[in-house]
Amino acid sequence: MKKMEEILENHKKGNITEKDAVRMINDCFYSDIGHTVIDTGREERTGYPEAVFCHGKTEKQIVDILAAMNRKKINVIATRLEHDIYKNISSLLPEGKYSADAGILTIENRKIKKREGGCIAVVCAGTSDICVAEEAAVTAEFYGHEVRRFYDAGIAGIHRLFRVIDKIREANVVITAAGMEGALPGVVAGLVSSPVIAVPVSSGYGASFNGITALLSMLSTCATGVSVVNIGNGFGAAQVASRICMSGAGK
């Protein structure tokens, strides 16, 4: 942790007081802004900066948090940020890049480095699943991964999947988002040898139960190589995918 060594050295040299040194060292770890304690050291510790889950936070809380992160020059990823809220706060965050499909705002305060850990395929079943697929794709790109999108490839017209399956096979890990009966991950897992991360989506008629049916179906699949994240959790899928890319021992 280079920054802390600098502080200690400056303190030793008498450039900064002990009180200032303590405050500056604290700043390496967290920043307390009253309603929120920002984990400023997370990227250094884990390789991934803290993410802000906007759902359930007020506009003011979101702006406070993002502004504080900007001051610290931390890379910002804010998920589940509704378009209407973004429009209200966008003038305060002019450097932000917003994806309406993904509901994600990113601010690249430090240059994002490309990761060498292979490529991530993001496949979704239907047009209604794009928002979740994009949450995964934008997050993975923000983490420095190469992402390839394959949308509206659901099993109702399975030739739409077959025309892209060879490209999906090239990926090191596959994220599949699907609603209704959630059969896509199992079918994909039968056609590729990479691990498949299944993301249930809350689309479909009554007994789809806002994604519960897809969730249970994915957990119960007889296909091999599928693991599951929470309903609609494209962000979490991207995190798992990123770890897989960085961790495996190679084909």
Which residues in the 189-218 window bind its own copies by CB under 8 A?
190, 193-197, 200, 202-218
Q: How far is the CB of 166 from its own copies (least distance, A)?
A: 16
For the segment 20-49, give every residue that binds its own copies (CB under 8 A): 29-30, 35-37, 39, 42, 46-48
**Shortest distance, position 39 Cβ to its own copies, whole Å:** 4
Alpha-carbon distance of 179 to 236, in angstroms, equals 17
Does position 4 bind its own copies by CB under 8 A? no
| N-terminal to C-terminal alpha carbon distance within the chain | 33
Structure tokens at 74: 């931390």
Residue of 102, 151, 168, 176 that binds its own copies (CB under 8 A): 151
Could you give the count of Cα atoms lying within 13 Å of 133 in the half-sphere of its Cβ? 25
Residues of span 100-119 touching its own copies by CB under 8 A: 116-118
Sorted by sequence, the CB contacts under 8 Å of residue 176 that are 6+ apart come out as: 123, 124, 125, 184, 185, 188, 196, 197, 198, 199
Binding part of the chain for its own copies, among 16-24, 68-76, 86-94, 159-167 by CB under 8 A, reads 159-167
> Percent helix, strand, coil in the chain (nearest 5)?
45, 15, 40
What string marks each residue from 224 to 243 as x (binds its own copies by CB under 8 A) or -? xxxxxxxxxx--xx-xx--x
CB of 126 to its own copies, least distance (A): 8
Q: Find the radius of gyration of the CA atoms of the chain.
A: 21
What is the pairing mode between strands 76-79 and 104-107? antiparallel
- Beta carbon nearer to its own copies, 8 or 225: 225
Which stretches of 47-200 are DSSP H helices? 59-71, 83-89, 130-142, 159-162, 165-169, 184-189
Options 49, 57, 136, 140; binder of its own copies; rule CB under 8 A: 57
CB closer to its own copies, 10 vs 231? 231
Helix (H, G, I), strand (E, B) or coil at 178: strand
- The correct pick among 7, 122, 168, 180 for binding its own copies (CB under 8 A) is 180
Shortest Cβ 73–its own copies spacing (Å): 18
Residues 60-89 that bind its own copies (CB under 8 A): 61, 65
In this complex, which beta carbon is closest to its own copies, that of residue 7 or of residue 62? 62
Exposure b/e, 88-103, CB count within 10 A at least 16 = b? ebeeebeebebbeebb
Task: Report the residue number, 96 or 118, with the smaller CB distance to its own copies.
Answer: 118
d(Cα 177, Cα 7) in Å, to the nearest integer?
A: 46
> How many chain residues interact with its own copies (CB under 8 A)?
96
- Nearest approach, Cβ of 165 to its own copies (angstroms)? 13
